[in-house]
Chains A and B, each alone.
Chain A
Amino acid sequence: MPIINVENLSREFQVMEPMGRFRRRKKTVHAVRGIHFSVEPGEAVGYIGANGAGKSTTIKMLTGVLVPSSGQVSVCGFNPVPQRKALARKIGVVFGQRSQLWWDLPLQDSYPILGAMHRMPEADWRPRFRELAEQMDLGAFLTTPVRQLSLGQRMRGEVAAALLHRPELVILDEPTIGLDMISKEKLRQFLDAERRKNGTTLLLTTHDMSDIQRLCQRVLVVDDGAIAYDGPLTGLADVAGAVRTMVVDLAAPVHSADLFLLPDGAVHEGIEADGIRHSVSFDPRRLSAATVLAAISNTAEVADLSLHEPDIEHLVRELYGSARR
C-alpha cells in the first residue's frame, strides 16, 4: 500500500486584487491543479520546481496544515486535515526556514519535550536520541543554546528532532538551504543511511541538484501547479536535454575556437581572458568529460578545469518548454 497517495488534488486561493483606487476584485489563484502521484514505503522522492510552482502548497496538504480544494490525499493511511494529530505521530517534518527547537534552551533540552509530545517513555526516546546524536555528530554542541548554533549545526539538530519518534515518512522542505558543503554532505549521508536501515520514506524539496543526485531515486517536477515529470533523475536529464559545461584554463592563449577539433556533441561556447579561458558544452549521454578533455588537450595544454552541472531551475525550464510544445 502506498504511504502517500494523491489523486486529482487541487488547491486554489482567493486573493483580492486592487482595481483602481478603492475597488478590489476577487481573483482565484490555482496553486495546485489536479495532481496525481503515489509514493511507496522506503522510497526517496525529490519534489522540485521553481518558486511558486506549488511545492509548499502540496506539502501543507500532505501534512494536514491545509485542506485541499478538491481531490483525495492519504498519508500513512490517514486523511491529513481531519486526522492531523494522529498523522503527526507517524511523520516527521523539517521546515528549512523555521525551527521547532526551543530557541533559548541548550539543544539537548528540546528532545525530552519532543519525546514526551510523542508519548515516548524515556526508555524509548533516550536510546534513539543517543543514536541520532552520534550519527549526526551533535555531541560537541548539545549544551549550546539553539540560538547560538550555526545554521549547519541547527539544521542537524532539527533533523534529529524530526526523526526522534521514528517516523515512517519524513518530509523535508529545503533542508540544505544555506548550509556549507560539509554540513550538506553529513546531512545527506545521514538521511540516506536512515532510509536504508529503517526503511524511512523521504520526500524532500530542494533547489540543490546534488541533494537529488545523492538521495533520490525518483524526482517529481511540479510546474505551474501540475506534475511535469515523474521518474528517475537520469530520465529527467534525457527529457530536458541537459548539457554539462567544461571550463578550461589553458597554459598558453589560443585565440580561435576553430583550432579545437571537438567531437560530435560538444560545442565551443566562448573565449574569455584573452584566449586563456574556454568553455565547452557537451551532451553527457554521448560524451564523457574525459573524451572532451582529451580533444582539447590535443590542441593546447590544459592548466586547470572545472565542470558545471545543469541546475534544477534550468532543467525545469527546459522541461516546461518541451511539455508545452
Chain B
Amino acid sequence: MASSRAIRSGAGRDPQAPVTNLVLLRLLVSARLRSQLAYRGSFLSDVAGQILLGLTEFVELYAIVHNVSSFGGMTFAQTLLVFGLASVAFALGDLLLGETDSMSETIRSGKLEVLLVRPLPVLLQLATSDFQLRRVGRLIFALAALAAALLFADITWDPVKVLLALITPLAGAAIFCALFLGAGAMQFWILDGRQFANAFTYGGRYVASMPGAALFFPIQIFFTFVIPATLVAYAPSLVILDLDGPAGIPVWTGWLGLPAAVVLSGLMLLLWRAAIKKYTGAGG
C-alpha cells in the first residue's frame, strides 16, 4: 500500500514506549529545525546575515574604542570581553524566545487559538516553534568574540573567576529570555507594542554590550537595578578583570547576575500567565 510505504517507521524505538517530556521536546525541536532547512538557500543567507550583523556591531564598538583609546575605563580587549559575554547571552535568549516579539501577529492571525486547544503549555509550543536555527549564526560569532577576549584580556584567573565566567553567559541568557518573554506578554495589552517591546530586548542588548561606565549615572542605575542589562556582561567583567566600577554599578553587582535572572524570570512568567488569562478573558 502506497500510504504505508510512505510513512517511515520509527526505527529502533519501542512502539509501546510512553511519551516522555524529553521525547516530545526532541520531536518539537527537530520538526522546527527541519522546517527551517526546507528553504535551504534562504536558511544559508539568514545564517550569513546574522554573522554579518554580529560583525557590524563589533566594528561599531571597535571604531569607538580605536578612537578614544579607553572606553568607559576599559581597553579594547576588556571591551571585547563585555561584548562577547553580552552577545553570547543575547544569542542564547534570542534562539529560545526571540520570536515572542512577533506575539501580536500570533494573536491577530488566530494562531494563538490553535496553540490554546492543544494539551501543552503555550510557552513551550512558542519556544519550540520559534527555535530559529539561523540565529546560531549570531551565537557562533559571539562565541568567537568571547574566546578572543578571554585570550587577550590579561586575566589573572582563580577558581572564583572561572565559576563566574561560566555562570555569567547562562544567567545573561536567562535575563534576555525573561526580557523577550515580557516583551511578548506586553503585546497582549498593546497590540502594536512590537516597537515598544523591542526597546527593552534590543535596547537591553545594546546597553549590555558596552562598558557601563560610559553611561550617564541615572541610566547606570536604571539598567542595573531596574532592567538588569549591565548585570549580563559589564558587572561580571569588572570582577573578572579586577577593575573598579562606576558609581552606579559597584563591583559587587558582578555577582547579581544569577539572582537577577531568577527574580526577573519569575516576574516575567507571572506577567505571561496574566497575559494568557487576559486573552481568554477578553477575546482577541
In the assembled complex, the CB of A17 is this many whole angstroms from the nearest CB of chain B, namely 16
**Neighbour of B19 across the interface among A60, A88, A116, A142, CB < 8 A:** A116
Q: Is there contact, CB below 8 Å, between A122 and B283?
A: no
| Contact residues, A86-122 vs B (CB, 8 A) | 86, 88-89, 91, 93, 95, 97-100, 102-105, 108-109, 112-113, 115-122
- Which residues in B have their C-beta under 8 angstroms from that of A129? 7
- Which residues in B have their C-beta under 8 angstroms from that of A109? 31, 34
Q: Is there contact, CB below 8 Å, between A66 and B24?
A: no
Q: Is there contact, CB below 8 Å, between A121 and B17?
A: yes
- Check: A64 CB closer than 8 A to any chain B CB: yes
Q: Is there contact, CB below 8 Å, between A113 and B6?
A: no
Q: Is there contact, CB below 8 Å, between B38 and A105?
A: yes
With A104-B35, A105-B34, A122-B13 as known contacts, state yes or no: A130 contacts B4, CB within 8 Å.
Answer: yes
Against B, the Cβ 8 Å flags (1 = close, 0 = not) of A151-174 are: 000000000000000000000000
Q: How large, as a class, is the contact surface on chain B?
A: 35 or more
- Check: B18 CB closer than 8 A to any chain A CB: yes
Q: Is there contact, CB below 8 Å, between A120 and B109?
A: no
- Which residues in A have their C-beta under 8 angstroms from that of B156? none
Q: Is there contact, CB below 8 Å, between B6 and A142?
A: yes
Segment touching A, from B66-74, B110-118, B170-178, B262-270: B110-118
- Check: B56 CB closer than 8 A to any chain A CB: no
- Check: A133 CB closer than 8 A to any chain B CB: yes
**Neighbour of A98 across the interface among B1, B3, B10, B114, CB < 8 A:** B114
How many angstroms between the C-alpha atoms of A111 and B118 in the bound complex?
13
- Check: B218 CB closer than 8 A to any chain A CB: no
Q: Is there contact, CB below 8 Å, between A113 and B117?
A: no
Against A, the Cβ 8 Å flags (1 = close, 0 = not) of B263-284 are: 0000000000000000011110
**Neighbour of A91 across the interface among B6, B17, B36, B117, CB < 8 A:** B117
Closest to B25 in A: A116
Q: Is there contact, CB below 8 Å, between B31 and A113?
A: yes
- Check: A139 CB closer than 8 A to any chain B CB: yes
- Which residues in A have their C-beta under 8 angstroms from that of B36? 104
| Contact residues, A114-157 vs B (CB, 8 A) | 115-123, 126, 129-130, 133-134, 138-140, 142-143, 145
Against A, the Cβ 8 Å flags (1 = close, 0 = not) of B32-57 are: 00111011000000000000000000
- Which residues in A have their C-beta under 8 angstroms from that of B15? 121-123, 126
In the assembled complex, the CB of A107 is this many whole angstroms from the nearest CB of chain B, namely 10
How many angstroms between the C-alpha atoms of A95 and B110 in the bound complex?
9
| Contact residues, B57-95 vs A (CB, 8 A) | none
In the assembled complex, the CB of B132 is this many whole angstroms from the nearest CB of chain A, namely 13
With A134-B3, A138-B3 as known contacts, state yes or no: A112 contacts B27, CB within 8 Å.
Answer: yes
With A104-B38, A109-B31, A140-B2 as known contacts, state yes or no: A117 contacts B7, CB within 8 Å.
Answer: no
Instruction: List 15 contacting pairs A-B, 8 Å CB cutoff, sorted by A.
Output: A13-B283, A66-B280, A93-B117, A98-B109, A100-B114, A102-B35, A103-B35, A104-B36, A117-B119, A117-B120, A122-B10, A123-B15, A139-B6, A142-B6, A142-B7
| Partner-A contacts on B (CB < 8 A) | 1-4, 6-7, 10, 13-19, 23-24, 27-28, 31, 34-36, 38-39, 109-111, 113-114, 116-121, 280-283
| Partner-B contacts on A (CB < 8 A) | 13-14, 57, 60, 63-67, 81, 84-86, 88-89, 91, 93, 95, 97-100, 102-105, 108-109, 112-113, 115-123, 126, 129-130, 133-134, 138-140, 142-143, 145
